[in-house]
A and B are shown apart, each in its own frame.
Chain A
Amino acid sequence: MRDALVILAKDLRIEWRTREGLSSVLVLGVLLVVVLTIAQDPSPETAPTLAPGVLWAAFVLTGMLGVQRAFVLERENDCLAGLLTAPLDPAAIYAGKLASNVVLLGVTQAVVVPLTGLFLHLDLVPRLPALLLVCLLGNVGFASLATLFGALAIRVRAREIMLPLLLLPLLVPLLIGAVQATRAVLVGGLAAASSGLGVLAAFDVIFAVAGWLLFAYVVRD
């Protein structure tokens, strides 16, 4: 756990200093929300059913950009070799990178969620705690899988193509659960979202454990 925190702190320090990952992710997120909401021009009745698609399309696309950036840091100057020659469990590298991806996506969510509410004229404040829970579970599930495949993708030549190809099919259950849970929260509240939340929680546990166990095989030759 301590090693994971050291890696997280290093990633956040670099991100704070350069703001390269965050700025590109935020610009893309805002652009997606603007385009997707303006194209639909929703009525107050249709806005709660449109919002989940807008939110999760924005999260997934920005998230993939963020994950690629997280591993670009380790590829520069072959810093990954520096990590792998240190006496730490590769699972700690996975946990540190996962945490840094969760933070980056969390910041994006903090911008994209209110912006979506604004553009769709949705009052999200009464549903904010339930919405935050759905976002957090979706964020952790996405980051668990994306961190594993992000590490895999940096080792191949066509990495920008490989990450979406590997990741998107496996994200389908998470996205279905996330969209269902978000819509249920916006229409009916937390109780209505129980089945979607169950899918998200199960996805989080399965892929966080899988990432923890498999990361060593992914990063080593």
Chain B
Amino acid sequence: MVGPPLRAEGLARRFGGMTVLAGVDLALETGETVVLLGPNGAGKTTLLRILALLLAPTDGRLLLFGSDAARAPAALRRRIGYVGHEISCYPELSAAENLAFYARLFRVSEAPGRIARLLAWAGLDGTGRRPVRTYSRGMGQRLALARALLHEPDVLILDEPVSGLDPDAVERLQQQLLELRAAGHSTLLATHDVERAAPIASRLAILHRGRIAWAHDGRGADAAVIVAAYRAVVAGSA
């Protein structure tokens, strides 16, 4: 399976009579970090759930590494790491037990060593034996990122990973995302935090009313430019 990590062509999704995505074209190249911005209800989460193979589009085509995602979803899931709005870890299990559970499902080789390294990377090595229900929001979010990276995916899909985090936790997560980019991971990140998104973005896009309403290659895209574009799009003048 060769080809760009992710290519969406005319993705549409309707729920009953409501159109949430109205034909989204989006590409993610190897080693890129694409930041997806958009107001609440723009369709970001729906788009990311489709790209993470959690939701089927009602129309359009999704190619992952050159393969039609509808044809071989199980093999392609192995190459994707997804963090949604919630951390997808069992509160009564410890961080290490959660990672060990997912390691078995993803057939991760040498799982104990990999889990120990990821817990250290996420700053959870001292608390890895504690039940996840005792974790703060920031610790949970770092665990979610470690879970998504467990099987060494080529593509990371992150849905508002900094939501609800304090400034220190946001900075730490931002640093971790830069490390992942340097390590060659392709990342698609949805966020509202324009200021923090700009430095880590290879490209930016604004999703509005189910369509990509604005796109930027990332060069010279400081926060002021992005905020201006965002406001223009949401106001309907772009």
**A and B bound?**
yes
Complex contacts, A18 vs chain B, CB 8 Å: 92
Across the interface, A77 reaches (CB within 8 A) one of B75, B90, B101, B102, namely B90
Q: A73 contacts which chain B residues (CB < 8 A)?
A: 90
Q: Kindly supply a per-residue 1/0 record for chain B positions 22-36, scoring 1 wherever the CB is within 8 Å of any chain A CB and 0 otherwise.
A: 000000000000000
Question: Within 8 Å of chain B (Cβ to Cβ): is A81?
Answer: yes
Q: Could you tell me if B97 and A13 are in contact, using CB atoms closer than 8 angstroms?
A: yes
Q: Does A14 lie within 8 Å of B90, measured CB to CB?
A: yes
Q: Does B196 contact A (CB under 8 A)?
A: no
Inter-chain contact B56/A85, CB cutoff 8 Å: no
A6 at the interface (CB under 8 A from B): yes
- Asked if residues B106 and A86 are in contact (CB atoms below 8 Å), the reply is yes
Decide: A85 and B82 in contact? CB cutoff 8 A.
yes
Assembly CA distance A89 to B105 (angstroms): 11
B54 CB contacts on chain A under 8 angstroms: 81, 84-85, 220-221
Contact (A10, B91) CB under 8 Å given A78-B84, A81-B86, A85-B54: no
A77 touches B88 (CB 8 A): yes
Known: A220-B56, A221-B54. A83 touches B105 (CB 8 A): yes
Asked whether, in the complex, the Cβ of A85 is within 8 Å of the Cβ of B86, the reply is no
Which of A17, A79, A89 has a CB less than 8 Å from the CB of B74?
A: A89
Cβ–Cβ < 8 Å partners of A82 in chain B? 88-89, 102, 147
Rounded to whole angstroms, the CA-CA distance of A83 and B91 in the bound complex is 15
Contact in complex: B55, A79 (CB < 8 Å): no
From DSSP, what is the main secondary structure of chain A's interface residues?
A: helix
Q: Which of A76, A89, A221 contacts B90 (CB 8 A)?
A: A76
The smallest C-beta distance from A16 to any residue of chain B, in angstroms, reads 10
Contact B84 A81 (CB under 8 A): yes
The answer to whether B90 touches A86, judged by C-beta atoms less than 8 angstroms apart, is: no
| Residues from 79 to 102 in A contacting B, C-beta threshold 8 Å | 79, 81-89
Contacts A220-B56, A221-B56 known; A86 to B84 CB distance under 8 Å? no
In the bound complex, CA of A76 to CA of B77 (Å): 22
List residues of chain A with CB within 8 A of the CB of B89.
Answer: 77, 79, 82
With a cutoff of 8 Å between Cβ atoms, the chain B residues found around residue A84 in the complex are 54
A87 to B88, Cβ gap below 8 A? no
**Closest CB in chain B relative to A214 CB, distance in Å:** 16
> Which of A's residues lie within 8 Å of B, judged by CB?
3, 6, 10, 13-14, 17-18, 73, 76-79, 81-89, 220-221
A13-B93, A221-B55 given; name 20 further pairs at CB < 8 Å. Answer: A6-B105, A10-B90, A14-B93, A73-B90, A76-B90, A76-B91, A77-B132, A77-B140, A78-B85, A78-B86, A78-B88, A83-B105, A85-B53, A86-B77, A86-B102, A86-B106, A87-B105, A87-B106, A88-B105, A221-B49
Q: List 8 A-B contacts (CB under 8 A).
A: A17-B92, A76-B90, A77-B89, A78-B88, A79-B90, A85-B88, A221-B54, A221-B56
Please name the 4 residue pairs, one residue from A and one from B, whose CB atoms are nearest each other, closest first: A82-B88, A78-B86, A86-B105, A87-B77
